[in-house]
Structure 1
Amino acid sequence: MFLLETESVYCKSNLFESGFAVNGGLDGSGQSPAHLAACGGQAFCLLWLLQTGADANQQDASGETPMHKAARAGSLQCISVLMASDAHFDICNNGGQTAEDIAWSYGFEECGKFLNMHRRTQDLKNASLSSLSERHILNGTLTGQKRGSASSSAQDGKKARDW
């Protein structure tokens, strides 16, 4: 219970410092309270911020999102909260790194594996949707051709019956 109270105080102090703006930058670095909560591994605070309107994909001056900060801190809990909030995990910072890249480079294997699994799942989903779309277009074309030939046969048959 004390943990929740401590995190709640931390969240409130961040909001006071930022003028109560959940997406406001605290200084020239452009870090929002969500960035700070993710960087500090404070999942409950981050969840609360996201539920009150914080942008899960807001980039700071270095192009990092809260997901990058959570990966840098090795906070699987914060990464999970962000994923549940539909945060993008494939955004690159100014150095061209994704959150997964950062997790691996800092030696946070569990976070790297988690982000890798989600990236591969997304890639499979995209490939499947693309394939499904291509099949739909192809089937629509073939069906249209079949209908056209069936239609002309039916018309020929009708003409034959009308004679």
Structure 2
Amino acid sequence: MLLLDCNLEVDLKHLLETGASVNAPSDPCKQSPVHLAAGGGLACLLLWQLQTGADLNQQDIFGEAPLHKAAKVGSLECLSLLVARDAQIDLRNKDGQTAEDLAWSYGFLECAKFLSTIKCIQTIKSSEPSSRGHCVPVLRQKRSFGSTESTNGKRKCW
């Protein structure tokens, strides 16, 4: 990976301001500025790059797209931006891992659950109505502690 100064955001802006293409690999690992922004968890810079035409599915020499980079650092904000822009969540790196797999393995459970839910939603949208019951989202509804209503609709006295 390109070794940048301590301030990744300033370095990426400098790369782009000096004429580097938003999709041009900026280092020997073929990581574009959008890879670096996603891998740095820099959602504002990532959004700006996406608005200027960055390829959000471009893979580096490891087969990783920006979605993989964001999952590895646990940036739910960057993942959300990429998914909202229709990043391919099923892309696999050279080790056969998706971004969801990486989020699970790096311990970013919220990111992994988010990607799992998005995958499930996409599966439901693309499937026929008869197979919609086969996908159950990972996220669950939170229940409040000390509810004042019982299951039969009557109020409990505490």
TM-score, normalising length from structure 1? 0.71
Pair 1:127-2:99 in alignment: no
Q: Is the 8 A contact 1:89 1:98 kept in 2?
A: yes
Structure 1 partner of 2:12: 11
Q: Is the 8 A contact 1:57 1:66 kept in 2?
A: yes
Q: Which has the higher helix share?
A: 1
The alignment-based identity, stated in percent, is 55
Structure 2 partner of 1:100: 100
Residue 128 of structure 1: CA displacement?
Answer: 2.4
Q: Is the 8 A contact 1:7 1:44 kept in 2?
A: no
Q: How many residues align?
A: 126
Structure 2 partner of 1:118: 118
Q: Is the 8 A contact 1:31 1:60 kept in 2?
A: yes
Residues 8 and 72 of structure 1: CA distance in aligned 2, closer, same or farther (over 3 Å): closer
Aligned-partner Cα distance in 1 for 2:65–2:129: 27
Residues 38 and 126 of structure 1: CA distance in aligned 2, closer, same or farther (over 3 Å): same
Residue 124 of structure 1: CA displacement?
Answer: 1.3
Runs of 5+ unmatched residues, structure 2: 1-6, 132-158
Highest Rg: 1 or 2? 1
TM-score, normalising length from structure 2? 0.73
Runs of 5+ unmatched residues, structure 1: 1-5, 132-163
Aligned-partner Cα distance in 2 for 1:10–1:130: 51
Q: Is the 8 A contact 2:34 2:56 kept in 1?
A: yes
